[in-house]
Amino acid sequence: MKDLFDKIYRDKGPLGKWASQAEGYFVFPKLEGEISNRMKFQGKDVITWSINDYLGLANHPEVRKVDAQAGADYGSAYPMGARMMSGHTDLHEKLQNELAAFVNKEAAYLLNFGYQGMVSTIDALVAKDDIIVYDVDAHACIIDGVRLHMGKRFTYKHNDIDSLEKNLERATKMAEQTGGGILVISEGVFGMRGEQGRLKEIVKLKEKFNFRFFVDDAHGFGTLGETGAGAGEEQGVQDGIDVYFATFAKSLASTGAFIAADKEIIDYLKYNLRSQMFAKSLQMQLVVGALKRLDMLKTMPELKNKLWENTNALQSGLKARGFDIGTTQSCVTPVYLEGSIPEAMALVRDLRENYGIFCSIVVYPVIPKGLILLRLIPTATHTLEDVTETLDAFDAIRERLVNGTYKRLSAAVTAAMDK
């Protein structure tokens, strides 16, 4: 019989095998200083394009004041226990009611963490006779939730309505045999490519197929729509979304998440979400902080306006200089380049050390081999000066990628990996 750990000793995984070259710099980096457009990385000042603080609330003085006061009033433990037992308060209910009203749903329910809450919500919504149909590029939390499902599930090609329709036909035939229902899952904004999910077209398919629609709008909440209520509002189909999910970890710059739906659906979920029934309640400091952040989202449209001023300047500037930013329809700004993983490492090191630009790097297996994705997240705290400086740096690193500089610099890394 094998030792359970044999596979760990033998194969570190597609990302883990790079740990000795990457850890502490390319992965698990340590940004220091107050969360803002400019921070420190290994003692150097850098423009930060990898923090999802869309509205600039993470370090806003009003937010910090409320957070500090809530900490003084309640500490970091209250309330103790799960919501169903001893962790329920009037302020939890107040936040839920305000969130529901903001996203135009009857009711909402707080979740301790977005990832955990998504997994648990999918698990609670479906039984073994039901069928799940979801976008192949769905976030890992959706995939992990689907993995818990004891019944059938199908993926459709990314944002491909014809593919979705074919899979709905398959799912319908199967549901007629099992006596179950169908759950379709999409993201409001796909966080890697920046594309909006085709929510309007998916809702339109309800005229032909009988299914319920679940949307993960982590990147759309606070950034899209006239009021900031997300991708459903942006596309005019919020009413067609049966279960709406968003996290506090991005636009609200905090911890936690929520789901919103008809009251009867929320009443069912709050009694069946295992991740909330058997876990400590969201602490009061975070609840009070989220109430303040939500109020600022509703009453300070200038935050979203500034976010989009910076987003438009960055994206239009990249396109004008001939960079491929894909088909983003959100603030998420991907820049696609061609190159190997060692070249990507050399390129990013050059960006950080010589140009003071810190952005996230994405390589295989997240994207196809031979591609490098530099992912930039504009925020309301960035300036047009930040944008211009970044565009100039990108011009320089592209030239060095094309002329082979990074290939030469990465030769040692490649040799080490070939051993």
Model pLDDT, residue 410: 78
Which amino acid, residue 363? V
pLDDT of 11 above 70: yes
How many alpha carbons fall within 13 Å on the CB side of residue 206?
A: 16
According to DSSP, residue 47 is labeled E
Q: Please tell me whether the peptide bond between 365 and the residue prior to it is cis, using omega within 30 degrees of 0.
A: yes
Average pLDDT over residues 389-394: 97
Domain(s) of CATH 3.40.640.10: residues in the chain: 61-299
Q: Report the percentage of the chain scoring pLDDT > 90.
A: 81
User: Which pLDDT tens digit goes with each residue over 83-127?
Assistant: 889 989 999 999 999 999 999 999 999 999 999 999 999 999 999
Give the per-residue pLDDT at 369.
Answer: 84
CB atoms within 10 A of CB 129: 15
pLDDT one-digit tens code per residue, 269-296: 999 999 988 899 999 999 999 999 999 9
Classify 257 as helix, strand or coil.
strand
The dotted CATH code for 61-299 is: 3.40.640.10
State the span(s) of the chain assigned CATH 3.90.1150.10: 12-48+301-418
CB 288 within 8 Å of CB 70? yes
Instruction: Give the per-residue pLDDT at 19.
Output: 74
Mean pLDDT of 342-363: 92
Cis peptide bond upstream of 29, omega within 30: no
Q: Of the CATH numbers 3.40.190.150, 3.90.1310.10, 3.90.1150.10, 1.10.286.10, which one belongs to the domain with range 12-48+301-418?
A: 3.90.1150.10
Q: State how far the Cα of 12 lies from the Cα of 7, in Å rounded to an integer.
A: 8
Collapsing DSSP to helix, strand or coil, 401 comes out as: helix
278: which residues sit within 8 A by CB, 6+ positions away?
82
Assign 398 a pLDDT band (cuts: 50, 70, 90): very high
Average pLDDT, integer, range 396-409: 91
Residue 417 pLDDT greater than 70, yes or no = no
